[in-house]
Amino acid sequence: MRASPVRLVSSPVLAWLAGLAVALLVAACGPGTIEEIDPDGGQTDGGHDGGDAGPDGGGDIDPNQDSDGDGLPDVWELSAGDKARLDPNKRDSDGDGTPDGAEDYDGDGLSNLEELAAARFTAIPAEPPPHPLRRDLLIELDSMSGRAPEEEALLMAARAFAALSLQNPDGSSGVQLHVVPDERDLPAQEFDGSFEQRWAYLAAHGPEMNDGLSPPLPLRKMVHVMAVARRADIPDRGGEVVAADSDPEQAGVFIYRDVIEANFPACERTMPPLLPAITVLEMTGSTLIHEVGHTLQLGHDTAAGGGVNSYNIMAVPGSCGEAQMRTHGADNHDPDQGATEETGEPRFSAPAAQLMRWTRKLSVETAAMEDEDGYEM
- Chain positions contacting Ca ion, by CB under 5 A: 66, 68, 70, 72, 92, 94, 96, 98, 104, 106, 108, 110, 115, 130-131, 136
Contact partner, 66, from Ca ion, Zn ion, none, Cβ < 5-8 Å per class: Ca ion
On the 0-12 / 13-18 / 19+ scale of CB atoms within 10 A, 20 is middle
Q: How many residues does the chain have?
A: 377
CA–CA distance, 14 with 282 (Å, rounded to integer): 19
Tell me the site size for Zn ion, rule CB under 5 A.
1
Contact partner, 127, from Ca ion, Zn ion, none, Cβ < 5-8 Å per class: none
How many whole angstroms from its chain centre is CA 249? 15
Residue number, 19 or 58, with CB nearest to Ca ion = 58
CA–CA distance, 235 with 277 (Å, rounded to integer): 22
| Interaction of residue 26 with Zn ion, rule CB under 5 A | yes
Nearest distance, CB of residue 219 and Ca ion, angstroms: 16
Q: Which residues contact 223 (CB under 8 A, 6 or more apart)?
A: 137, 138, 139, 140, 252, 253, 292, 295, 361, 362, 363
The CA distances from residue 263 to 62, 197, 280, in Å, are 55, 25, 8
Residue 278 contacts residue 293 (beta carbons within 8 Å): no
CA–CA distance, 136 with 99 (Å, rounded to integer): 20
Contact partner, 96, from Zn ion, Ca ion, none, Cβ < 5-8 Å per class: Ca ion
Residue 130 contacts residue 113 (beta carbons within 8 Å): no
Residue number, 174 or 307, with CB nearest to Ca ion = 174
Contact partner, 170, from Zn ion, Ca ion, none, Cβ < 5-8 Å per class: none
Stretch that binds Zn ion, among 26-34, 75-83, 153-161, 213-221 (CB under 5 A): 26-34
Contact partner, 149, from Ca ion, Zn ion, none, Cβ < 5-8 Å per class: none
Nearest distance, CB of residue 282 and Ca ion, angstroms: 28
Q: Which 3 state secondary structure label does DSSP give 177?
A: strand
Stretch that binds Zn ion, among 25-33, 121-129, 188-196, 366-374 (CB under 5 A): 25-33
Contact partner, 41, from Ca ion, Zn ion, none, Cβ < 5-8 Å per class: none
Nearest distance, CB of residue 103 and Ca ion, angstroms: 5
Stretch that binds Zn ion, among 1-9, 23-31, 45-53, 362-370 (CB under 5 A): 23-31
Binding site for Zn ion (CB under 5 A): 26
